Homo-oligomer: A and B are copies of this chain.
Amino acid sequence: MIYQTLLLVIGLLILMSISSPSDASVDQAHDAKDSSVLSTRKSPHARIHPVPISSVRMMAGFWKPWMEANRTKGLPALLEQLEQHGVVDNFRRMSGRKAVERKGPYFSDSDLYKWMEGAAWAVASDEDAALESKLDAVIDDVAAAQRPDGYLNTFFVDDIEGQRFRNLSTEHELYCAGHLFQAAIAHYRATGKAALLKVAERFADYLVDHFGPGKIEQVDGHPEVEMALIELYRTTGRRSYLELAGFMISAQHFALRQQIGGHAVREGYIAAGAADYFAETGDEALHRALDVVWHDMSSGKVYITGGLGSRHGGEAVGNAYELPNERAYAETCAAISNAMWNFRMLGITGDGRYADMMERALYNGFLSGVSLDTAHWFYVNPLACWESYQRSAWFGCTCCPTNAVRMLASIPGYLYGTSDDGIWVHLYEDSQLEWCLSDGVKVLLTQETHYPWEGKVRLTVNPERDTEFSIHLRAPAWCSKLSVAVCGEKLSSEITNGYITISRKWKRGDNVELTMEMPVELMESDRRVAENRASAALQRGPLVYCLESTDNPGLSLRGVQISRTAKFEPRSGPELLGGVTVLAGVGTETPFEEGAPLYRPLGSLKSPEATQAQLTAIPYYAWANRGISQMEVWIPLAD
């Protein structure tokens, strides 16, 4: 009873804050942990709302070992790198704590902020006093560097202190600010501590004072701050942050967009910001532009891995169907931005095709950027490799590693969603969700699954008391055959917009069994993708596979072909690459004609005899973990 009263009061408080967002400071408005990637405050124009990271418990699933490695190895190793490269010292220098030279590119602050966000989400999931204390120390250094007026950027000091915002198109002060805000929000939600959030608010207030119509009307060349400002609005209730984000999105003419083009990461971020803004405001012009741009991206400008960026030049999305494999750029950050954008599209629409794209990006194009030990990274994620290419612990522009640690730590936030009528399961993962339904009933939802290695998912539903609500189960687009049973009884599982909705009065111990057939598929692409013509990629469930030379010794990988009817079988490899299911099949290897001319009349060469070749494919994300190798995703088809 006390519990219910408390909930009612909280509910009323939330309602009040939505109807009249106050400009009250953080301390007054929030004094409880709310560790979500996005706020659980219900955005009025969203159909699905996120859940806090702290409400999700990751069990023995696919992502848990990655998160564990990230928390215990990746994050500490990356902080050491940031220290070694002077990124933290830049802040100490600014506050006078350390007399050193400024080091790194002008946007290096953002790298520390992203690390901080990652560390915050990591401690939201798992207690880690050592990591938290490192984070607190870094926060102290950051806070001490803030200027009295709220401005904070370690590049603009000394001689150029007065030249703030002198070159927004390339010097990325607002991009850095955005990452500061996101780190602050994460820290606040993860720990309840408001120290960094206050720093963020002061800087955001400074931006509100300086940017907007009649003030500085330019925007940052690298979008990012839009999402961050809207999240800061959701966190603090200060509407001026939302308005500033709206001004920035409008200044970039997003609503007039007809296509995706240019820098891939920026394109994902601005679209994510626009989706956030729609969620708060219901701006229909933005929604239309989001639809058009998303269609342009998904129909011809995204890799099968969910990676974005076909050109090294400008780190850019290419023309339609311009999707080279060996020369793919597919920056790790771009797969992250694609996932973030699609998560928001899923939120505002409830349409599973966005969950499909998000899943594709997370399990493939994002994860390929991370080594198994979470301490070595790809910036560029090619889909074929014929010359030597390896992961690095650091890059001169090290945006990808720092982005990856925050994405790994925030995975729990992407699994579930909620709406007034119940709970959404977006990603299948061995995990638990503890949630309080809109009628106030607490429910514990347990997912048991070996996804993505197997297509079986068992949900156990434990409401505090019997209550009616809906569970929306995602029916992934990759799955052409699935079945659902509720408490052993088969359901005619109608799929609407990529989800199966099960509405009933649930009682303790009720269970749902979802069985997704997960055959190995030979995938083709639109024939306008020139490099994939007469080739097929192996896919099973959400995972794209590749042939890596390491698993196919003695073969000249480039001479391998498979038939259109090739059958590949999944084989569990618990000892391999942290535990993966490999695909085994048969193809052919045809040697190359030595000294043959590059161009010759069609069919004029007698082809060398093809020989049978046993092939082993591994998940694309796991390649390049065992030294120099060759690799390909798209395998030529034999005539």
Contacts and interface: CB of A to CB of B under 8 A. Distances in A.
A586 interface: no
A526 B300 contact: no
Contacts of A243: none
A603 B324 contact: no
Interface string A288-330: 0000000000111010100000011100001111101111000
A489 interface: no
B536 A533 contact: no
A284 interface: no
A386 B320 contact: yes
Interface in A517-543: 521-531, 533-537
Interface stretch (A70-78, A111-119, A403-411, A592-600): A592-600
Contact of A326 (B322, B327, B477): B322
A592 B528 contact: yes
Nearest to A605: B524
Contacts of A300: 598
A639 to B, nearest CB: 9
A558 interface: yes
Nearest to A527: B636
A255 B218 CA distance: 53
Given A313-B312, A524-B601, A602-B523, A326 B530 contact: yes
A189 to B, nearest CB: 36
A240 B560 CA distance: 55
Contacts of A311: 312-313, 327
A575 interface: no
B522 A601 contact: yes
A480 B533 CA distance: 30
Interface string A574-600: 000000000000000000100011111
Work out how many copies of this chain go into the complex. 2
A564 interface: yes
Contacts of A321: 386
Given A319-B326, A526-B592, A304 B599 contact: yes
A363 to B, nearest CB: 14
A244 to B, nearest CB: 36
Interface residues of A, number: 51
A523 B302 CA distance: 31
A387 interface: yes
B324 A523 contact: no
A636 B533 contact: yes
Contacts of A558: 528
Given A313-B313, A326-B530, A525 B598 contact: yes
Q: Which of A311, A318, A327 has the most CB of B within 10 A?
A: A327
B523 A601 contact: yes
B319 A386 contact: yes
A520 to B, nearest CB: 10
Contacts of A521: 601-602
Contacts of A320: 386
Contacts of A523: 599-602
A602 B319 contact: no
Given A524-B601, A600-B524, A319 B387 contact: yes
Given A319-B386, A533-B533, 6 more contacts: A300-B598, A304-B599, A320-B386, A477-B597, A526-B599, A564-B602
30 contacts: A299-B597, A299-B598, A300-B598, A304-B598, A311-B312, A311-B327, A322-B326, A324-B324, A324-B530, A324-B531, A325-B530, A326-B530, A384-B530, A521-B602, A523-B599, A523-B600, A523-B601, A523-B602, A524-B601, A524-B602, A526-B596, A527-B636, A529-B598, A530-B531, A530-B634, A533-B533, A533-B535, A534-B534, A564-B602, A564-B603
